[in-house]
Chain A
Amino acid sequence: MTGTFFFLFGLAMYFAVIPWQVETGESGHLAPDTIPNAVAITVSLCGMLLMIRTTDQVSRTPANFLRTVFYVAVLAGSHYAMSLFGFMYVSPVLALVLMLMIGERRPVWIIAGAIGMPALIWFFVAQVLERGLP
């Protein structure tokens, strides 16, 4: 499966993306698109060989992938929320959601993770290091 993906990815890079996204240069011994093109060809060729010769893969169940998609969505959402409200307000909510998703229900640990840790980060970064939080 990944062989097909990389075969098509390499072709798409070589024929569409690199010509569109790499400007040509006049001087020098190496054109700006030489290395990206060489890499795209290598990826495509290896992908083609992988299509012919399948290799063993690390098994991941669909449930694992779905859980990962969910965690990634939470992280992406919190990244967007941080751009609007800032780390100070989003981090306790993010920590709380993650801990609940992992299955933590003990109040002491929830308080430590969702309030204690963001507070510690704020103290260390904003107060001790005097750096801005995102």
Chain B
Amino acid sequence: MAGFGDAFSLVNLAFVLFGVVVGQFVGAVPGIGPVMAMAIAIPFTFGLDPLPAIAFLVGVNKGGLVGGAVPAVLMNTPGTPDAAATALDGYPLAQQGKPLKATKMALFASITGDTFSDIVLITVSAPLAVLALTMGPVEIVALMIFTFSVLTGLMGRSLLKGVISAALGLLFAAIGVDPENSTPRLLFGMWDLYDGLPLVSVAIGMLAISEILRRLSRSKGVVKPAVEIDATGKPEDSRVSFAEYWSCRFTMLRGAAIGTVLGAIPGIGSTAAAFMSYAFAKASSKNPESFGKGNIKGIAAAESANSAVVGANLIPLLTLGIPGSVGAALIISAFMIHGLQPGPLLFQEQGRLVYGLFGAMVLANVINLCVGQLGLRLWVKVVSAPESVIFSSALLLCIVGVSMATGGLFGVGVMLVFAVIGYLMSSFGYSVIIFIIAFFLGPRFEISISQMLALTNSEPPQIVNYPVALALLLLSLLSFIWFWFRNKKAEAELKD
């Protein structure tokens, strides 16, 4: 509990507050979003202690989800993909002259969902970590293969492209020194690569810079005009009454449960959770035709689910060291910058920090609510900020941030190379998220295989002596076959 209390120090409070404000601000700007904001912010946390640094990033992530609903509601342009489902009812409600009611419902539902998943995270992660500690290298290899099979199946419509993305991530992770023999691999005479490619450069290049490039390539030299927002001016149209909030309680709880379950599975993501929750809310409604026309339950369903994913995403990260989403992968980079290795051992070695992180998450929810209540009117103005300033500033911040984290311009060069790779991959339908997760897991995967071979005397049939690993490998095979047939069916339906 001492760790939990650490989160409530004045310094951490300030960093969580700062993170939430930054997150809500950038979430409200269409085109930036919390993932890019986190990617940019990570190198700047280098000089901080681990807890304030990670608490700040958690604040950015949580604040970004709240801010992302603002452009979805006002412009029908979600600031983040997660908020796309929010726009289905949020935008029509704003068109009826109730933009503040729509954004406030999004805020309350988001906090409710987020708090629900945080409670689940805090209660289940420690027992799960104890269970994970009983796993040996054979089980870890099997678990990673299972993770890859789920990721490649769930992200994108082509299983083959998913496998190639994961394979490329593993290939680039092999650059540097071989972990067993300490012999150099794929250095091409560049001794800066001796320690491998810097994760920060790869992540920021593929996530932030490639996204900026994608947006810039679509710009046609015309600066977008500011958004005009009409409101009725009636007080009841600018707030959410307790009766309205209470009427959505089951919708929000169901959304939070969907988000938590899907968030705990690597690869599914908050967008899928939001749409699934929205579909359930519509299907179970007595008045389904009101959905899509400004029903606040539609907003509550989408926002509670997409926000619940954030906390749940940390379950596989903290218990197994496997990032469930790109946001979690970025939090991993922050852990690594501060010399920490996420996984079950983190609870043993850095228990106080983990509970400090939990405390920061709870704190971030409260601050998110307060800042959201006060700041929504301001974020409404932010949606009309010019993208010329936003993107040029984001690029400069990425350059400085990566240079600080990697100690020079070589890291910036790597970032630019991976920006191009990320741009090309997503242009041709290859998932950069699978790539980054595979890149992160690559060194651990190789070491675990080596340990597994040592344990089994290099005889793979001996794996039958490890029932958990065998079950995971069978599950991987089954999920792979299932995803293969599911994708084939989806392709056939598309052709029809």
Contacts and interface: CB of A to CB of B under 8 A. Distances in A.
A99 B389 contact: yes
B393 A102 contact: no
A125 B402 CA distance: 12
A113 B399 contact: no
A118 B218 CA distance: 25
B164 A47 contact: yes
Interface string B265-282: 000000000000000000
Contacts of A47: 164
Question: Which DSSP category, helix, strand, loop or mixed, fits chain B's interface?
Answer: helix
Contacts of B219: 67, 102-103
A130 B409 CA distance: 18
A49 B174 CA distance: 24
B217 A55 contact: no
Interface in B414-433: 416, 419-420, 423, 426-430
Interface in B386-411: 386-389, 391-393, 395-397, 399-400, 403-404, 408-409
B395 A35 contact: no
Contacts of A36: 171, 174, 185-186
Contacts of B419: 72, 75
A98 B388 contact: yes
Contacts of B47: 129, 131
A69 B413 CA distance: 16
A17 B171 CA distance: 12
B444 to A, nearest CB: 12
Contacts of A106: 223, 386
Interface stretch (B88-96, B118-126, B446-454): B446-454
A113 B393 contact: yes
A35 B389 contact: no
Interface in A24-69: 24-33, 35-36, 39-40, 42-43, 46-47, 49-50, 53, 55-58, 60, 64-65, 67-68
Contact of A55 (B161, B171, B386, B420): B161
Contacts of B178: 22, 25, 32
B428 A25 contact: no
B187 A21 contact: yes
Interface string B166-203: 01101100100010111111111000000000000000
Contacts of B213: 68, 71-72
Interface in A65-106: 65, 67-68, 71-72, 75-76, 79, 82-83, 87, 91, 94-95, 98-99, 101-106
B243 interface: no
Contacts of B428: 1-2, 57-58
Contacts of A57: 427-429
A68 B388 contact: no
A22 B171 contact: no
A129 B163 CA distance: 42
B409 A117 contact: no
A112 interface: yes
B389 A58 contact: no
Interface string B455-492: 00010000000000000000000000000000000010
A26 B164 CA distance: 30
Contact of A35 (B174, B216, B393, B416): B174
Contacts of B186: 17-18, 21-22, 36
Contacts of A21: 185-188
A76 to B, nearest CB: 6
Contact of A68 (B187, B393, B423, B442): B423
A1 to B, nearest CB: 8
B234 interface: no
B412 interface: yes
A57 to B, nearest CB: 5
A120 to B, nearest CB: 9
Interface of B: 44, 47, 157-158, 160-161, 163-164, 167-168, 170-171, 174, 178, 180-188, 209, 213-214, 216-223, 386-389, 391-393, 395-397, 399-400, 403-404, 408-409, 412-413, 416, 419-420, 423, 426-430, 442, 445-446, 449-450, 453-454, 458, 491, 494
14 contacts: A21-B187, A22-B186, A25-B178, A31-B181, A35-B449, A36-B185, A42-B163, A67-B217, A72-B416, A83-B409, A91-B396, A98-B395, A102-B219, A117-B396
Interface of A: 1-2, 6, 13, 17-18, 21-33, 35-36, 39-40, 42-43, 46-47, 49-50, 53, 55-58, 60, 64-65, 67-68, 71-72, 75-76, 79, 82-83, 87, 91, 94-95, 98-99, 101-106, 109, 112-114, 117-118, 121, 125, 129, 131, 133-134
Q: What 10 pairs between A and B have smallest CB-CB spacing?
A: A25-B181, A28-B180, A104-B388, A103-B221, A32-B178, A29-B453, A134-B403, A23-B183, A102-B388, A55-B158
Given A35-B445, A58-B429, 16 more contacts: A2-B430, A13-B171, A29-B453, A33-B185, A36-B185, A50-B161, A56-B491, A60-B427, A68-B423, A102-B219, A103-B221, A103-B223, A104-B389, A106-B386, A113-B388, A134-B400
